[in-house]
Structure 1
């Protein structure tokens, strides 16, 4: 069980919404960090591909391998990450 930091309601692990305040739960790797990993893998693939004959295929394979390694590391680091996101409405 998780405790919502906004309303202190007990929420079961795996839920997508808090039953007390409707905060969204996000698990795992942050999407922005995953995008950075994809960009790094693409740059590595281009770098390797430019340095070899038949570079497109070799670069693509290298890029996939780099991204696979980055993804595996990020999954290990962020395996227990849970973020509660709530939109607060303000009245004017």
Structure 2
């Protein structure tokens, strides 16, 4: 059986999964977002791998591989963090 409720970390109010705003404190609810650290890892790996490809195959290989590695990294991130729920409070 699947848990269809989410709990706000700010006001501890439980809401049904799928809401876009917390009923208790009006925090914005975002689904499927990945953490900021993941973006940095993907960018660093993209530059590192494109540098290695550029050294081995020339600059043309590096310019083509960087966008491909970045896009693939963010697609994989969306799959990995698809169940992630983030609450953002407007101050």
TM-score (norm 2): 0.69
Aligned to 1:76: 79
The one-character-per-residue Cα deviations of 1:37-65 (angstroms, maximum 9, x if unpaired) are 0111111111111112xx22210211222
Q: Which runs of 5+ in 1 are unaligned?
A: 88-92
> Paired residue for 1:48, among 53, 59, 78?
53
Give every structure 1 segment of 4 or more consecutive aligned residues whose post-TM-superposition deviation is greater than 6 Å: none
Aligned to 2:25: 21
Q: Which runs of 5+ in 2 are unaligned?
A: none
- Are 2:31 and 1:39 aligned? no
Aligned to 1:60: 63
Residue 79 of structure 1: CA displacement?
Answer: 0.8
Name the larger-Rg structure.
Answer: 1
Residue 73 of structure 1: CA displacement?
Answer: 1.4
Query: Is the contact between residue 11 and residue 18 of structure 1 (CA under 8 Å) also seen in structure 2?
Result: no
Name the count of aligned residue pairs: 85
Output the CA distance in 1 between the equivalents of 2:37 and 2:23: 27
Output the CA distance in 2 between the equivalents of 1:41 and 1:18: 36
TM-score (norm 1): 0.69
Counterparts in 2 of 1:85 and 1:14: CA distance versus 1, 3 Å: same
